[in-house]
Structure 1
Amino acid sequence: MKSRCVLFLLLLIQQVRTDLQYDNCIYWTSSKGFSLPEFSERRVLNDVTVFYYDSSLRSKTPCPDWINTTAGREEWSSIHFWTDHNRHTVTLAFKSASQQFNLTGSLSDQNIYQASGCCSLYPDGTYKAFLTSAFNGKDFTSFDINTKTFVAAVPQAVLYKNLRERDSTTIEELSAFYKKPCLERLNILKQAPGILIRKVPEVRIFQQQKADSITVTCHVTGFYPRVVQVVWLGPDLQPVDEGVTDVLPNEDGTYQTRKSVIVPEEDVGEHTYSCVVLHSSVPDNITRVWGGEKAGGMAVWISLVCISLLAAGIGLVVWWCCRTRAKAYKYIYKRPEGSAPS
């Protein structure tokens, strides 16, 4: 049984490790009525924006100084070229969706179309890519890179799917991009300032006593890049129920998150629980163990320590007073006759 649990833990950690990756993502938006530009494109590598353009700008982001190779500058020119194409297709999708959902006239006051395309490189060398879109916050289409077809998430997206697939040349280029050039561009963009700075997370465990249980929280902070996995392991190395909190930014550019487990009071002290943190800044993992100490027992222990320290303090004060008084008596009784106390 234990060997199975150990194997499960190893497989779990291995699975989590593959989630620590480099992400090269592109985000497009076309909207109306949200005080946003009509069109925007943002290219992001692991939460760091390396390129931005929107319809309110007169020019696109110039090639940065950290791209100092011929191949890199050619890729940057390609980004500029495709931005114009993307603006056309995203605007087309927005208009098509608005019409198919009958959101015209007064109903067209507030609508938004969002699309994202990402390619991810994992530490074990595997590579994944996807392209999806949404209209007013709901799935609209996705692109199957292998079959070179668009998949309509809703009937209203079929028209746009057909429009895109009619342009076979662009479809071929789109599929080819996510299979190889996206990865090559990712390797070039890794040179961006701040991308390769990794910070090791700080991990601590704290508990909160409730009526019939204890909530144990694993707080992880100060790490970069953003991608992290926090896993609670309970008795026999089985994962236990956990509360999940989103990864949040710190003021210094690092991130923090926390996960909690609720431990029934009758189980406190009977088992140990481990918080396993996996992050690209450390080769293996960071593990903190909570031994299941009852909050009440801790309070009693703290009280005993405080009482002991108080007693010791009182004893020290009494000893000092007695010693001082003894010295005073000795001085009074031994001083020369006729002399006055100073």
Structure 2
Amino acid sequence: MKNANLLFLLLYLQQVTTDLRNDNCCYWMVSKGYDLPEFSERRVLNEVTVYYHDSSLKSKMPCPDWINTTAGIREWGQIQYWSNHNRFVGTLGLQSAINQFNLTGTLTDRNIYQGFGCCSLYPNGTYSAFLNHAFNGKDFTSFDINSKTFVAAVPQAVVYKTLRESDQSTINDVASYYQKTCLDRLKILMEAPRVRAKRIPDVRILEPKKKVGSVTVTCHVTGFYPREVQVFWLGSDLQPVDEGVTEILPNDDGTYQTRKSVIVPEEDVGKQNYSCVVLHISIPNNITKVWEVKAGGVAVWIPLLCISLLASVIGIGVWWRCKTRDAVI
């Protein structure tokens, strides 16, 4: 059983590593009603927001001081230029959708038109990109980058498709962006120190919480960058222990934090040790903290460099990618 669990863990980590990529994405929204800004846009690079703007702000976000190269500053100017373009085509899409769905009266007062574009560079050197639009949370149209045409997801999107394709010059610009510019920008902005630098996670076992019949032990992991991380609990015999859902949250300094907990039955406390194991691209093997209960009921944690058996099995799966995001619609 032990070998089967370790093999499963190895295969899982290999799959996670295969899926990793660098992304450059943009999210924008044109809204009417719902007490939302008329227009808002967010661009993210490696899970770090590098640009945010909405129509309620007096000015657009200045270039972050950590984008300090000549090429990066030049690209920042282009980001603001395309933000104006996104607002224009989003407003056009919103009005077209309202008309084509024949929304009248109060039905015109609360509607949302959204765009999401992303380009991705995979570890094996392959590249992909896409652009999708939605109306009120449902697919409306998408852009075929190779044919330079919009694909209507619903009949009501045909009018918008025709309007956009009638401006062939802009269509060529959008296609060129996703074919080349998005990738070039991703590579340039990846060089920014805040996006590029890896940060080693700080791992701590929090004070256990006692309940009737059980003890909840939590492993808190914080200060790591990039975002991708694996955290799991193991028993002293390297058997996985049941664990809760993991949520990765941002810190104010651009790093991330997460936590995982295990519920230990009261009758098992002190009978075996429990280890929190953390895998991250910033470390060559893993970080392991062991929680145990000594005589007298005093809980302690012991830091370990690695668990040798675990490291030998999963060593090939712990080099992760730096995930980077931004894009133009």
Give the TM-score normalised by the residue count of structure 1.
0.65
Cα deviation, 1:84-123, whole Å, max 9, x if unaligned, reads 4322221122223334555443233333222222234455
RMSD of aligned residue pairs (Cα, Å): 4.2
Cα deviation, 1:226-278, whole Å, max 9, x if unaligned, reads 44333445698675543224323335443321123345567667776553323
Q: SS of the counterpart of 1:89?
A: helix
After the TM superposition, which residues 30-69 of structure 1 pair with which residues of structure 2 at under 5 Å, given as runs?
30-55=30-55, 66=67, 68-69=69-70
Larger Rg: 1
Q: Which residue of 2 aligns with 1:106?
A: 106
After the TM superposition, which residues 1-342 of structure 1 pair with which residues of structure 2 at under 5 Å, given as runs?
2-17=2-17, 22-55=22-55, 66=67, 68-69=69-70, 75-76=75-76, 78-122=78-122, 125=125, 127-143=127-143, 157=157, 160=160, 164=164, 173-192=173-192, 194-206=194-206, 207-232=208-233, 241-263=242-264, 274-290=275-291, 300-302=296-298
Cα deviation, 1:256-308, whole Å, max 9, x if unaligned, reads 211233455676677765533233332343333456x5xxxx684449xxxxx
1:149 & 1:4 partners in 2: Cα distance? 49
1:82 & 1:10 partners in 2: Cα distance? 43
Query: Which residue identity does 1:215 align to in structure 2?
Result: T
Q: How much has 1:30 moved relative to structure 2? A: 0.7
Q: SS of the counterpart of 1:194?
A: helix
Query: Which residue identity does 2:131 align to in structure 1?
Result: L
Q: Using CA pairs below 8 Å that are at least 6 residues apart, which structure has the higher relative contact order? A: 2
Contact 1:9–1:237 under 8 Å retained in 2: no
Q: How much has 1:21 moved relative to structure 2? A: 5.2
Contact 2:2–2:239 under 8 Å retained in 1: no
Report percent identity of matched pairs: 66
Give the TM-score normalised by the residue count of structure 2.
0.67
Relative to its length, the structure with more helix (as a share) is 1
More displaced stretch, 223-232 vs 56-65: 56-65
1:159 & 1:198 partners in 2: Cα distance? 47
More displaced stretch, 167-176 vs 177-186: 167-176
Contact 2:24–2:45 under 8 Å retained in 1: yes
Contact 2:202–2:222 under 8 Å retained in 1: yes
1:266 & 1:159 partners in 2: Cα distance? 68
1:126 & 1:141 partners in 2: Cα distance? 25
Q: How much has 1:31 moved relative to structure 2? A: 1.3
Query: Which residue identity does 2:94 align to in structure 1?
Result: F
Q: How much has 1:24 moved relative to structure 2? A: 1.9
2:264 & 2:285 partners in 1: Cα distance? 27
Query: Which residue identity does 2:190 align to in structure 1?
Result: K
Query: Which residue identity does 1:96 align to in structure 2?
Result: S
Contact 1:230–1:276 under 8 Å retained in 2: yes
CA 1:85–1:14 in 2, change beyond 3 Å: closer, same or farther?
same
Q: Which runs of 5+ in 1 are unaligned?
A: 304-342
Q: How many residues align?
A: 297
Q: How much has 1:33 moved relative to structure 2? A: 2.5
Q: Which residue of 1 aligns with 2:325?
A: none
Q: Which runs of 5+ in 2 are unaligned?
A: 300-329
CA 1:236–1:54 in 2, change beyond 3 Å: closer, same or farther?
same
More displaced stretch, 141-150 vs 96-105: 141-150
